[in-house]
Chains A and B, each alone.
Chain A
């Protein structure tokens, strides 16, 4: 199956629902189901190959690349999107009104994961960015609109800098295809000044969306103020695509000096994110800062650049997507029932609603990196990869991990604290059906991946290898054939 269908179908359905408003909710569900199925069955059966758009061979045309990494990430992204859309099916409301935005977001996220062309990536980043600004503005009151505006300004500056970096790279190298550029850069054909400046600009550009310090001023407000479904998608699927785009481009055309800078920025992001998350009183803000820290960790691993560390990065990304989805859903449940999500409200919540409590434990421990859960493998990779760099870096990462474990345990104890107030006398509350279903599926996946033996992890290693080495190999083939 040509992976273009993953992009073309949501886009076509988005155009339809622009003028046929009444069917837009159904159309969104159809598109999400199609993408989830196509993402799993259509993509898994393909061999490593690139699909050219318009029939023009790369690098003269745009090509879509399906390698082991995309074969892993595409199904995850599409299925999570489907879950997010289905979660709020019954509550309707703004999901139906914004269904056009969700459809275009789905198309653009798939485009970011698939494309192998720098300028095409820019266009899809812009589409994803604009849908993100719109999704961020869905909260109640004007606070979400101010947060969305700030996000828009920072995001537009970022994509401007990225475009400048791409232009400089084109001026020197004469091509826009990522694989061919990887081959040219690694063989030293491009002058050092050009790779340095363009890599810096690209890091600035892609770093905005990837929540890298110092570009992540937009994250807390946006993730705390937007509405339910929007937050789910923004916090779980978007980071997957954005950090993957960051890895894809920088592993191909990045300058070595800039990679060291990326290591530094990533580590700083982790530390700042965890420290700020520690002192938050509201669960949602904690999760927002925790997202910053997770992205920082994944990007730090990309900066190190070896196959082992990129394996860890991919595992962290997927773990973050699954767990954050659960955590933000739990937070929504709580706000639904009790109206707020600060520590007092959550006292003993886990005892009243044990399913919610258990899923919280599983997702929180997975993000914190406890053994038996998926996050442990990624964290292990991160720490062992950090020993390859200077000595200060592992210390910082370990400190940050310690802080993370502490505050997640604090929240878990809050959930199961028997010293409840008047709320302890109420009957047991059952969460919604969708929550039960998705909670079951995602928790099972997290635990399964955590306890399974090494063979399951070769697929992550192959994914990382295709990112680090595979793109380069394709580029050399293109150069050889020209």
Chain B
């Protein structure tokens, strides 16, 4: 009985949403047909052209100097520059979740042993692969303004390297330095914001020169911020893994 009611509610929800799709008509703005978006009606038009401040020149890869955000990856320019406050909030969400996991579960000295026995071949191979994973993670967040990815996937890949080490080795624990790294990186992000406030009058403004679009050293504070975020997320997710495998903490 409960399942039938649940299924009915879910179906009701589905049909309600479907009525709003395909509603674009001539006298009012609705959701356009799939693929027929008119970008000029949306704020994104100015994000692509990098013309929020009125500069209407064309941006050319590898040629344009001192563009608005300077980042070749437009999604990065939105995430770290135009809507950087959202990213600060996102970083805070991860931070408070990791802290919460630590408060609820962590602090134990012992480690939960794994039930799978791992052969020495796997152990040795993992010790080679894990550092490679971490280097890949660092590459992803360092090139966040040139290629897809950025700080969050980069940090997740670093944490995956840590997870690999934890799974194959029964003694592996995270070092204390992870918490310090996490905290200082977060503090640095807020300081960059405050520096922008003091230098240019608005929080989190881009106060470094933006260079040539497409080079590694371009886009002002964007690579700096993404590196901060990448290291922070890597440390945080590794800390969460560490909290889940610990035992004997001061739970209620």
Contact = CB atoms under 8 A, between A and B. Distances in A.
A188 interface: yes
B186 A53 contact: no
Interface string A103-144: 010011001000000011001101100110110010011100
A124 B31 CA distance: 26
B43 A174 contact: yes
A193 B19 CA distance: 7
B83 A19 contact: no
B200 to A, nearest CB: 6
Interface in B62-103: 81-86, 88-90, 92-93, 95-97, 99-100, 103
Contact of A59 (B28, B43, B85): B43
Contacts of A18: 95, 99, 179, 182-183, 186
Size category, B interface: 35 or more
B91 to A, nearest CB: 9
Contacts of A188: 28
Interface stretch (B139-147, B153-161, B189-197, B210-218): B189-197
A51 B204 CA distance: 12
Contacts of B184: 15, 19
A301 B242 CA distance: 49
Interface residues of A, number: 66
Given A54-B204, A55-B200, A172-B29, A11 B190 contact: yes
A8 B193 contact: yes
Nearest to A180: B43
A126 B52 contact: no
A173 B43 CA distance: 10
B29 A55 contact: no
A444 interface: no
A191 B23 contact: yes
Interface string B17-49: 101100111001111100000000111101100
Nearest to A200: B16
A403 interface: no
Contact of A54 (B90, B96, B100, B196): B196
Nearest to B176: A19
A133 B96 CA distance: 11
Contact of B194 (A8, A56, A57, A196): A8
A276 interface: no
A264 interface: no
Of B32, B83, B103, B182, the most chain A CB neighbours within 10 A belong to: B83
A19 B235 CA distance: 12
Contacts of B103: 97-98, 101, 134
B93 A130 contact: yes
Given A54-B196, A120-B89, A193-B20, A100 B99 contact: yes
Contacts, number: 178
A171 B31 CA distance: 5
B93 A126 contact: yes
Contact of B30 (A54, A60, A172): A172
Contacts of A54: 81-82, 84-85, 196, 202-206
A233 to B, nearest CB: 15
Contacts of B52: 56-57, 60-61
B32 A171 contact: yes
A11 B92 contact: yes
Interface in A191-231: 191-194, 196-198, 200
B181 to A, nearest CB: 8
Contacts of B120: none
A123 B90 CA distance: 7
B208 interface: no
26 contacts: A12-B187, A14-B186, A15-B95, A53-B84, A54-B85, A55-B196, A55-B206, A56-B52, A60-B47, A61-B83, A101-B103, A104-B92, A104-B95, A119-B86, A120-B89, A130-B93, A145-B104, A164-B17, A173-B29, A174-B42, A174-B44, A175-B42, A189-B29, A191-B23, A191-B24, A192-B28
Interface of B: 16-17, 19-20, 23-25, 28-32, 41-44, 46-47, 52-53, 81-86, 88-90, 92-93, 95-97, 99-100, 103-104, 179-180, 182-184, 186-187, 190-191, 193-194, 196-197, 200-206, 252
Given A15-B190, A19-B182, 18 more contacts: A11-B92, A14-B95, A18-B95, A18-B99, A53-B203, A54-B202, A55-B201, A61-B82, A107-B92, A120-B85, A123-B89, A123-B90, A164-B17, A168-B31, A171-B31, A190-B29, A196-B20, A197-B19
